[in-house]
Amino acid sequence: MGNETAKGLSVNAKTLIIILLFVNVGFASKMLNKYYKMKEAGYIREKTFHEQVEHRVMKAFGSMDELNKMVSDITRQKEDAEKMAASFKEQGDQLKVVNKKIEDEKAKVEAEKARLQKEIWELEDALSQAKKEISTKDATIQELTDKLLASEKKIQR
C-alpha cells in the first residue's frame, strides 16, 4: 500500500522529502532543547532571587517570623488607612451637602438683604419727601402767621 501511494514520486523527490523531514525534526528538537535550557535558567534565576531575598530578610530582620509580623502589621495599617480614607470620603460628601445648604442659605440671605436695602431706600425717600412737605408747610404756616400778625396790627391801629 505504501508503494502504491508513492508510486508517482521520483527517488529525488522522496529523498528531498526525507531530508526536509529530518531537518524539521532536528530544528524542532533544537528549539525544544533551547526552550528547556531557558526554562531551567529562568527557574534557577528565580530560585536564586528568592534565596537572595530570603538572605536579605534574615540579615535585616533576623528571622522570617519578624518579617511576617511586620507584613501583617503593615497589612493591618493599610486596612486601617483604607477605613479612614473611606470615612474621610464620607465626611467630605457630608461637608459638600452642608456647604451646598450653606450656599443656598447665603443666597437667600443676600436676596433678603437686597430686599431690605431697597425697602430702606424707599423709606429714606419717603422720609426726605415728608421733610420737604413739612418744610413747605412750615413755610406756609410761617407766612400765614406773618399775615395774621400783620392783619392784627392793622386791626389794632
What span, in angstroms and rounded, lies between the C-alpha atoms of 54 and 47? 10
pLDDT band, residue 3 (cuts 50/70/90): low
* Per-residue pLDDT at 4: 53
- List pLDDT tens digits, range 61-107: 667 777 778 788 889 999 999 999 999 999 999 999 999 999 999 99
State pTM to two decimals.
0.39
> How far apart, in Å, do the first and last CA atoms of the chain sit?
173
Q: Is the pLDDT of residue 28 over 70?
A: yes
